Amino acid sequence: MSSDLRISPRDRLVLNAIIEIYIATGEPVASQTVARQLDNKDGMSAATIRNVMAALGEAGLLEQPHTSAGRSPTARAFRLYVEQLHGGTKVALTTLSQERRDQIEDSFMGVSSRQQFLERTSHVLALISSSVGVAVASQAEKHCLDHIHFARVSTGRVLAVVVTKSGVVLDRVLTLDHDLSLAELESAAAFLNQNFRSWSIERIRTELARRLEQERSEYDQLMRSIDELCRKGALEQESAAQSVFIVGVANLVAGEVNGARLRQLLSALETKQRLIELLDAYVDARQQSVRVVVGLEETIPEMRNLVLIGAPARLGTQSLGTVAVIGSTRIPYQETINAVSFIAQLSDRILQTE
């Protein structure tokens, strides 16, 4: 692990210069290019820089992909660089510019629900990072009722539409044992909307079961209708699948020339459950800080040499989900880290009046 490696300030200066040049150009970096970048800082000559680069290569921080004199940073070097960003040593830290903040906030205009926020986040992060923007709703999120509507499809068949407070729409067709009239359906919906608005679906079902048992002696037609609708699945929590939003896959695969690897990468990105597992493995919803992981092959082998920059988004004390960027090692680290952090914190301000 890079955290076990200790290099001198001079070596670190050269390594940082190589990484920043490589991020900008995507090409192996020659000692002459480093010398021009450093502009004789600390009195280092071209020969000294060549010696430092040779030592960095022996330490596993640089590799020489071709026979040319240029060197490229390894995943280990990028990990060391990222640790510096978090630790604030020898890397010029920057904050998100006001122009970028305004651009991000403008991008969220009109967003009023959690679902909309996460969907918009994936677009904004893909645009800012020129990589893949990902937003995953919290699996622990409880869906709370905003309103429910029943529509008669045919004899004994009813369409139940549940709209949650977070903007998720859950619908299913129920096959009933007893046909219910339009008036009965309207009465059942009115009762649920008036008595259980903002309640979690799980809590509604528990409370209805309690009331039905308690009021069995006064079991009138309205309660029979509600019992029938609920037993047939009108308020099934399992219908709320975990939402995953992915934007910008083309950004990531554009430079991939290996056909077999490209197919593997596309398959991994398109399998939403694997992305959920990836984010769960690396981003802790209980933490507030941004997590940066260089090399994702431990969780998804097809994503070797890729970078994950992610953070948990919250609404008050409740977990909203995870927002993240997946990109190449040439990603603009500091700006992307700042953007992910800013958007993760923006959720609380945008949705606080929800």
Distance (Å, rounded) from C-alpha 112 to C-alpha 238? 24
Contact 169, 162 (CB under 8 A): yes
Burial of residue 334 (number of CB atoms within 10 Å: 0-12, 13-18, 19+) = middle
Within-domain flag for 212: yes
Q: Are residues 159 and 227 in the same domain?
A: yes
Q: Which residues of 22-51 are buried (b: 16+ CB within 10 A; e: fewer)?
A: bbeeeebbbbebbbebeeeeeebeeeebbe
Q: Nearest CA to 346 among 329, 323, 328?
A: 323
Domain boundary among 207, 239, 271: 239
Q: What CATH number corresponds to the domain at position 25?
A: 1.10.10.10
Which tokens sit at 163?
């709209």
pLDDT digits (tens, 9 = 90+) for 80-136: 888 887 654 334 445 788 888 999 999 999 888 888 899 999 999 999 998 999 999
Over residues 170-180, mean pLDDT: 86
200 vs 6, residue with greater confidence: 200
Distance (Å, rounded) from C-alpha 282 to C-alpha 104? 25
Go through the chain and tell me how many residues it has: 354
Within-domain flag for 278: yes
- For residues 245, 351, 129, 53, the Cα torsion angle rounded to the nearest 10 degrees is -110
Q: Are residues 190 and 285 in the same domain?
A: no
- Whole-number pLDDT of residue 289: 78
Looking at the predicted structure, is the pLDDT value of residue 19 above 90? yes
Q: Are residues 130 and 259 in the same domain?
A: yes
Q: Which residues pair with 281 in a beta bridge?
A: none
Residue 1: pLDDT band with limits 50, 70, 90? very low
Which tokens sit at 114?
């959690």
- Whole-number pLDDT of residue 55: 92
Angle between helices 333-350 and 98-107 (to 10 degrees): 50
Residue 323: pLDDT band with limits 50, 70, 90? very high
CA distances 178 to 137, 156, 174, 184, 228, Å, are 37, 6, 11, 12, 8
- Whole-number pLDDT of residue 91: 40
- Whole-number pLDDT of residue 88: 43
pLDDT digits (tens, 9 = 90+) for 276-291: 888 888 887 777 778 8
Pick from 1-5, 6-10, 44-48, 216-220: least confident: 1-5
- Whole-number pLDDT of residue 39: 78
Domain boundary among 239, 272, 293: 239
pLDDT digits (tens, 9 = 90+) for 123-164: 999 999 989 999 998 764 567 888 999 998 888 889 989 888
- Cβ neighbours of residue 200 closer than 8 Å, sequence gap 6 or more: 142, 143, 144, 145
Over residues 14-20, mean pLDDT: 92
Q: Which residues of 130-157 are buried (b: 16+ CB within 10 A; e: fewer)?
A: bbbbbbbbbeebbbbbbbbebeeeeeee
Q: Three-state DSSP class for 276?
A: helix
- Whole-number pLDDT of residue 299: 79
Within-domain flag for 85: no
Which tokens sit at 145?
């009722």
Give, as one character, the DSSP assignment of residue 40.
T
Q: Three-state DSSP class for 291?
A: strand
Q: Are residues 246 and 135 in the same domain?
A: yes
Within-domain flag for 83: no
Q: What CATH number corresponds to the domain at position 302?
A: 3.30.450.40
Within-domain flag for 81: no
The model carries a pTM of 0.67
Q: Are residues 67 and 132 in the same domain?
A: no
Distance (Å, rounded) from C-alpha 53 to C-alpha 18? 9
Distance (Å, rounded) from C-alpha 321 to C-alpha 137? 4
- Whole-number pLDDT of residue 258: 62
Q: Nearest CA to 83 among 38, 134, 132, 16?
A: 16
Distance (Å, rounded) from C-alpha 288 to C-alpha 225? 46
Q: Are residues 258 and 129 in the same domain?
A: yes
Residue 40: pLDDT band with limits 50, 70, 90? low
Residue 251: pLDDT band with limits 50, 70, 90? confident
Contact 174, 154 (CB under 8 A): no
Within-domain flag for 84: no
- Whole-number pLDDT of residue 95: 73
Residue 240: pLDDT band with limits 50, 70, 90? very low
Q: Are residues 178 and 123 in the same domain?
A: no
Q: Are residues 226 and 277 in the same domain?
A: no
- Whole-number pLDDT of residue 89: 39
- Whole-number pLDDT of residue 310: 93
Q: Which residues pair with 73 in a beta bridge?
A: 62
- Whole-number pLDDT of residue 249: 83
Q: Which residues pair with 145 in a beta bridge?
A: 164
Residue type, 221: Q
Q: Which helix (H) or strand (E) holds 319?
A: strand 318-328
Q: Are residues 196 and 248 in the same domain?
A: no
Domain boundary among 239, 271, 301: 239
Q: How large is the C-alpha radius of gyration of the chain?
A: 27
Within-domain flag for 92: no
Q: Are residues 173 and 231 in the same domain?
A: yes
Within-domain flag for 87: no
Q: Are residues 223 and 250 in the same domain?
A: no
What range defines the domain where residue 37 resides? 2-74
Contact 351, 315 (CB under 8 A): yes
Q: Are residues 124 and 151 in the same domain?
A: no
Q: What CATH number corresponds to the domain at position 214?
A: 3.30.390
The count of structural domains within the chain is: 3
- Whole-number pLDDT of residue 270: 75
Residue 202: pLDDT band with limits 50, 70, 90? confident
Q: Which residue has the tokens 């909307």?
A: 193
